[in-house]
């Protein structure tokens, strides 16, 4: 099958079973390990979803628009950087493992939370049931569209997502917990503020007695 039929099956008629053959062909031909892994992640997820097909169709259309229109670096290589077991999405980073490894529950239970650079919001949506409320933003408007689609599907009414940068962020309120995961500087060079300015601003939004949960950059290896 041609790449044209791949995009037609994926974005126009959304027939993932027929598209599987195209995925496998593209995967076998691809020399880019990251893109190959992204294709395989997508294939695995489509085999697992059933009642969520309409949601994945909506997400697939957003990803197609991102591919055409978004010029900045794509951390998901055409699919997703974060995973979300709740809607059967595999990413390069396992969201559930990160949450378990950091033992977040003792910090976020019943708290107000701000997620800087939320990506597709999957981490925020996973922990939302524990929080009083959680808000997240990201510079990539297409990922925010995905986050809001998933939010509606999962009925996470205490979650809020919007597109924007931390430099533009200017709320009066503060939060019990601020999450900063590898956003103090970015691979795509979209971060404009200095490190000092970044952490001063983080401090500004942490309530008295609150927490800044910080993670530095993660190095991804593909096998």
Q: 186 and 122, same structural domain?
A: yes
Q: 123 and 180, same structural domain?
A: yes
Confidence of residue 221 (pLDDT cuts 50, 70, 90): very low
- Is the residue at 149 inside a domain? yes
SS3 134: strand
- Is the residue at 144 inside a domain? yes
- Is the residue at 123 inside a domain? yes
Domain termination site, one of 28, 61, 86: 86
Q: 115 and 45, same structural domain?
A: no
Read off the pLDDT of each residue in 42-46 and give the average, rounded to a whole number: 77
Q: 196 and 137, same structural domain?
A: yes
The pLDDT value given to residue 57: 86
The pLDDT value given to residue 70: 92
Domain count for the chain? 2
Beta pairing, strands 133-138 & 206-215: unpaired
- Is the residue at 185 inside a domain? yes
Answer for the pair 141, 163: CB distance below 8 angstroms, yes or no. yes
For the beta sheet containing 133-138, the strands, ordered from the edge strand earlier in sequence to the opposite edge, are: 159-163, 133-138, 112-116, 175-181, 206-215
Q: 148 and 42, same structural domain?
A: no
- Is the residue at 92 inside a domain? no
Kindly report the average pLDDT of the chain as a whole number: 84
Is residue 144 exposed (0-12), middle (13-18) or buried (19+ Cβ within 10 Å)? buried
Is the pLDDT at 39 greater than 50, yes or no?
yes
Helices (H) and strands (E) in the chain, counts: 9, 5
- Is the residue at 94 inside a domain? no
Confidence of residue 80 (pLDDT cuts 50, 70, 90): very high
Domain region containing 34: 3-86
Domain termination site, one of 37, 57, 86: 86
Answer for the pair 169, 193: CB distance below 8 angstroms, yes or no. no
Which phi and psi (to 5°) does residue 21 adopt?
-60, -35
Calpha distance 48→44 (Å, rounded): 7
Q: Can you list the positions of beta strands (E) in the chain?
A: 112-116, 133-138, 159-163, 175-181, 206-215
The pLDDT value given to residue 220: 46
């Amino acid at each position: 099958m041609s790449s044209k039929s791949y995009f037609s099956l994926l974005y126009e008629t959304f027939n993932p079973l027929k598209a599987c053959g195209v995925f496998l062909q593209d995967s076998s031909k691809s020399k880019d390990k990251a893109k190959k892994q992204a294709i395989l992640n997508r294939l695995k997820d489509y085999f697992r979803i059933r009642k969520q097909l309409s949601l994945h169709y909506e997400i697939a259309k957003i990803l197609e628009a991102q591919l055409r229109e978004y010029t900045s670096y794509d951390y998901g290589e055409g699919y997703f950087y974060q995973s979300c077991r709740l809607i059967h999405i595999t990413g390069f980073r396992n969201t559930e493992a990160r949450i378990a490894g950091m033992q977040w529950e003792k910090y976020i239970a019943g708290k107000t939370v701000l997620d800087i650079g939320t990506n597709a919001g999957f981490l925020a949506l996973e922990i939302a049931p524990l929080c009083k409320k959680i808000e997240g933003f990201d510079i990539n408007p297409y990922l925010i569209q995905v986050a809001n689609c998933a939010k509606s599907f999962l009925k996470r009414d205490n979650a809020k997502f919007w597109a924007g940068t931390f430099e533009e962020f200017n709320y009066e309120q503060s939060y019990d917990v601020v999450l900063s995961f590898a956003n103090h500087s970015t691979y795509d060079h979209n971060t404009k503020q200095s490190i000092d300015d970044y952490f001063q601003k983080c401090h500004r939004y942490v309530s008295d007695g609150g927490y800044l949960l910080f993670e530095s950059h993660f190095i991804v290896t593909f096998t």
